[in-house]
Amino acid sequence: MPKIIHPLAGSIAILTIATFWIATAVSELSGSDILVVAVKSAIPWGFLLLIPALMATGASGFAVAGGRRSGLITPKVRRMPIIAANGILVLVPAALFLASKARAEDFDTTFYVVQTIELLAGLANIILLTLNMRDGFKMTGRFRTRPTKT
């Protein structure tokens, strides 16, 4: 069961974070305060999907690893504390702060500084999760090219 849960939960997590990131970028680039308020207000509700997906990814990943800590598992295990810390210490507080500021339509310098930090931290997590997914594919042999017969 963990072999099914791990890639599914991981995919949900990375797609959710990417959706938050893209929605934020689009709303900011649109110049529409109404859209920014809508996106920033919706993101904390997305945590109801994201946080359990990340927890399931981590728990099932450790179960699938079965205590092994060598090979491609090593960089995956090393990335996870960075991903978790980035989320807990930067992304969640930033999202809650920005949602509050957006609902008050308080788009001041602080809002945009925190918004920039959130976008950079979100991009870092997308990259780290993508690297973990790539290593997972390598470990399972997915997308491995097979030699052609001549």
Which residue segment(s) compose the domain that 26 sits in?
Answer: 2-140
Does 94 reside within a domain?
yes
Please choose, from the candidates 28, 49, 48, 51, the residue with its C-alpha nearest in 3D space to the C-alpha of residue 102: 28
Place of tokens 């997914």: 133
In this structure, what token pair is assigned to residue 123? 């991009």
Residues in the chain predicted with pLDDT less than 50, given as ranges, are none
Does 106 reside within a domain?
yes
Does 148 reside within a domain?
no
pTM of the model: 0.85
Tens of pLDDT, residue by residue over 16-36, are 999 999 999 999 999 899 999
Does 76 reside within a domain?
yes
Question: What pLDDT is stored for residue 26 in this prediction?
Answer: 96
Does 95 reside within a domain?
yes
CB atoms within 10 A of CB 24: 20
Question: What pLDDT is stored for residue 143 in this prediction?
Answer: 66
Read off the DSSP letter of residue 145.
Answer: P
Question: What pLDDT is stored for residue 42 in this prediction?
Answer: 96
Do 54 and 13 touch, CB atoms closer than 8 A? yes
Backbone angles phi, psi at 130, to 5 degrees: -65, -40
Does 150 reside within a domain?
no
Does 149 reside within a domain?
no
List C-alpha distances in Å: 139 to 9, 26, 48, 89: 17, 35, 30, 30
Q: How many domains does the chain have?
A: 1
CA distance 83 to 127: 10
